[in-house]
């Protein structure tokens, strides 16, 4: 498969790229900073330099053409202000979905956030972030031209992955290693029957392959 990943230099994205490359898939990571290209190449991915905050739908669609799936894993980052929560976490996600439609790429995964809600109250930066992610999720879910799956992981850690998760429409709060989020994304890409689902994921006692199969069967 050829998979295009927005936010290609992010911590989850780099892990995902390594997993995809290791099994022979073609991973393309969209990055804003060309100086990050070598990191993607080292991970086995093809870097594509494009700033999704200023790109047009057509420019993003050009990168997506010929892909089997798209993954939105971009984020403004914890040190960004409120404005970039809207321009990256919300607007770039919507633009990427528009571009996937324009390029005819149906399979579309979103790395969202637990608690994302377009109506979330509050004025702190994290409140704005949850509203932005919620608005992006709502915009993706409204599309019939995309076979979308939204993954909302719990508190992200850099602990070594266990390969076991709890995956459900609602899991409750809990941590999850970024390794396991990336591995879950691979399984979701391989499981088209998860299209149309918004899922939460935390560490748990079920192997990722089994957890994804079970949720697809529901």
Helix (H, G, I), strand (E, B) or coil at 188: helix
Q: How far is CA 118 from CA 72, 127, 134, 144, 185, in A?
A: 18, 10, 4, 20, 24
pTM above 0.75, yes or no: yes
Whose structure tokens read 């109506």?
A: 119
Burial class (CB in 10 A: 0-12, 13-18, 19+), 188: buried
The pLDDT assigned to 81 comes to 77
**Mapping DSSP to helix (H, G, I), strand (E, B) and coil, where does residue 118 land?**
coil
- The domains of the chain, with CATH numbers, are 1-214 (3.40.50.720)
Would you please indicate which residues are annotated as catalytic (active-site) residues?
A: 129
Token pair in block for residue 149: 């799956």
Q: Which residues of the chain fall short of a pLDDT of 50? A: none
Quote the pLDDT of residue 218: 66
pLDDT digits (tens, 9 = 90+) for 65-107: 999 999 999 987 777 778 888 889 899 999 999 999 999 999 9
């Amino acid at each position: 498969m050829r998979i295009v990943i927005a936010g290609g230099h992010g911590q989850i994205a780099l892990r995902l790229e390594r997993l995809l490359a290791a099994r022979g898939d073609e991973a393309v990571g969209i990055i804003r900073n060309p100086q990050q290209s070598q990191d993607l190449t080292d991970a086995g991915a093809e870097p594509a330099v494009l700033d999704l905050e200023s790109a047009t739908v057509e420019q993003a669609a050009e990168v997506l053409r010929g892909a089997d799936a798209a993954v939105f894993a971009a984020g403004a980052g914890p040190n960004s202000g409120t404005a970039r929560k809207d321009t990256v976490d919300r607007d770039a996600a919507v633009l990427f979905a528009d571009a996937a439609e324009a390029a005819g790429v149906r399979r579309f995964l979103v790395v969202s956030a637990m608690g994302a809600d377009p109506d979330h109250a509050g004025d702190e930066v994290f409140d704005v972030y949850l509203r932005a992610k919620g608005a992006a999720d709502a915009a993706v879910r409204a599309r019939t031209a995309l076979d979308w799956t939204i993954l909302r992981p719990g508190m992200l850690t850099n602990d070594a992955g266990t390969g076991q998760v709890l995956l459900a429409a609602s899991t409750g709060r809990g941590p999850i290693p970024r390794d396991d989020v990336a591995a879950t994304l691979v399984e979701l890409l391989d499981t088209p029957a998860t299209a149309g689902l918004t899922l939460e994921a935390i560490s748990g006692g079920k192997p990722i392959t089994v957890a994804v199969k079970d949720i697809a069967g529901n």
